[in-house]
Each structure stands twice: as structure tokens, then as C-alpha cells.
Amino acid sequence: MTGGTTVRRAAPGDAPAMARVHVESWRSTYRGLMPDELLDDAQFVVRRERFWTAALTDERFAANRVAVAEHEGEVVGIAMSGPSTDSTDAVQLYVLYLLDGHHGSGAGSALLDAVLDAGDDVVLWVADPNPRAQAFYRKRGFAFDGTEQADDGVRERRMVRAATAAPSGV
């Protein structure tokens, strides 16, 4: 990565910054797809901070891998993977968000590499429409498998990547 961005394992003290990135990313990505009442709720950041604190400290999440991307000392991206809820043999990418202005910087790829191994079979759910994210995942070897669901009123499509399909050098 260039431009002073680094990726590292997340620590409990990162929870407030991770919550901010999570909420700001949702607001910029899902505006018009999710209800404004949810996105603009004054407690949204507080709830996400509780979530990230639990994800980083609670034994229930011990098998998860959580990383942050920092640019000039500020958290600008977050990612989390863990055991799949869809398949006992796969890893699931649960979260990968970057603040606006950091897309295309290499931080997304570095976050993905930090929480997934090339030898993993991986599943993820991506909002539809979300052409930027879908293109990012396709470039990294993911493909739609035809499964869809609605979560919080947002249509999501499942993408999968077999261990042998993971591109090298991305």
C-alpha cells in the first residue's frame, strides 16, 4: 500500500474508531437502500461501538479475524471474518468497509488479505445494488452463487470464492 496506509490486527481500543468507520460507511453506501431513520439514529454509533467492543473482547468471537486500516494515524477501514453461518467448511467475510476517499487506495485488498487466507473457501453477502463492492470482490476471485436474501430491507447476494480461485498478486 502507498500513501501512509497500514493494516494491522484490531485491538479493543479501536472500537470507537471502528464504529465511526462502520456508521459513516453505511451512511454513504446504503443511503436510499436502508431507511434514513436507521442510518440517522443518534444511537447508531453507540450500538456499533458496543458491537465492536464485543467482537474484540468476547470469547464468542475468538475465532474471528479483525483488522483495521490506518492512514496517517486515523482508522479508515475495517474488516472481519470468521466461521461461516452458511457453510461449516467456509470462512465468511462479515465486514469490509472503507471511508469514502480511500477506495482504490489498496487498503481494501490489504484488509481482505489480513482477514482471509488464500487457502480459505470464502462466502460473503454483498448489497445489491452495490456495483463498486461487487466489482471489487469479482476482481478478487468471488462469484455470485445465485443465493439472495433481504437484511434490514437491503437485498443481498451471496458471493463465494473457492480456495483455488483466489487470485495471486492482487
Considering Cα of 60, then 85, then 96, then 166, what sign does the dihedral take?
Answer: positive
Question: What pLDDT sits at residue 151?
Answer: 78
Q: Sheet containing 154-161: which strands, arranged edge to edge? A: 5-9, 65-71, 74-83, 91-98, 122-127, 154-161, 143-151
Q: How many domains does the chain have?
A: 1
Burial class (CB in 10 A: 0-12, 13-18, 19+), 34: middle
Please check whether residue 170 lies inside any domain of the structure. Answer: no
Question: What pLDDT sits at residue 153?
Answer: 77
Please check whether residue 128 lies inside any domain of the structure. Answer: yes
Please check whether residue 69 lies inside any domain of the structure. Answer: yes
Chunked into runs of 10 residues, the chain (170 residues) has average pLDDT values of 82 98 95 90 96 97 97 97 87 97 94 95 94 96 95 88 64
For residues 81 and 71, give the distance between their C-alpha atoms in angstroms, rounded to a whole number.
22
Question: What pLDDT sits at residue 169?
Answer: 47
For residues 159 and 44, give the distance between their C-alpha atoms in angstroms, rounded to a whole number.
27
Question: What pLDDT sits at residue 165?
Answer: 54
Give the structural domain span for 31. Answer: 5-165
Neighbours of 109 (CB within 10 A): 16
Q: Are 22 and 95 in contact (CB under 8 A)?
A: yes
Name residue 17's amino acid.
Answer: A
For residues 18 and 40, give the distance between their C-alpha atoms in angstroms, rounded to a whole number.
17
Q: b/e per residue, 73-100, with b = 16+ CB within 10 A?
A: eebbbbbbbbebeeeeebbbbbbbbbbe
Please check whether residue 34 lies inside any domain of the structure. Answer: yes
Please check whether residue 151 lies inside any domain of the structure. Answer: yes
* pTM of the model as a whole: 0.91
Question: What pLDDT sits at residue 154?
Answer: 86
